[in-house]
Amino acid sequence: MYDSVYDDLAEAQTRRRQAADLAHIAAYYGLDRLGIRVAIGGRVRHEGREGTVVDTAGQWLEVLLGEDEVPCVCHATSGMAYETAAGWVAPAGAAQLTITP
């Protein structure tokens, strides 16, 4: 009984941490202005390899790339592109690059 209560509490704390980290990343790097919604489960490309955001690590993203079994920790803008409704978008400082498939 107690294990499930602690599991629920731990999951809620994880979700709050992730939400705070993602909000910070989006605001700090201005991703919203570029039409990028960074989220757990979001599709990304890191150094050309496609993957999925699976967690956060402070201002970093944990991304599971391709067939890898262990996620890698990636900077939110360095070598990253995000899948959006308009296609793949790569933040590059203050500029915006659109990558065609």
Q: How confident is the model over 23-79, as pLDDT tens digits? A: 999 999 999 998 999 999 999 999 999 999 999 999 999 999 999 999 999 999 999
Beta bridge partners of 51: 44, 65
Record the tokens describing residue 50, joined without a space.
Answer: 């496609």
**Confidence band of 95 (pLDDT split at 50, 70, 90):** very low
Is residue 97 predicted with pLDDT exceeding 70? no
Query: Can you tell me the distance from the alpha carbon of 19 to that of 16, in angstroms, rounded to the nearest whole number?
Result: 5
CA pseudo-torsion sign 83, 88, 90, 91 = negative
Is residue 94 predicted with pLDDT exceeding 50? no
pTM > 0.75: yes or no: yes
**Confidence band of 5 (pLDDT split at 50, 70, 90):** low
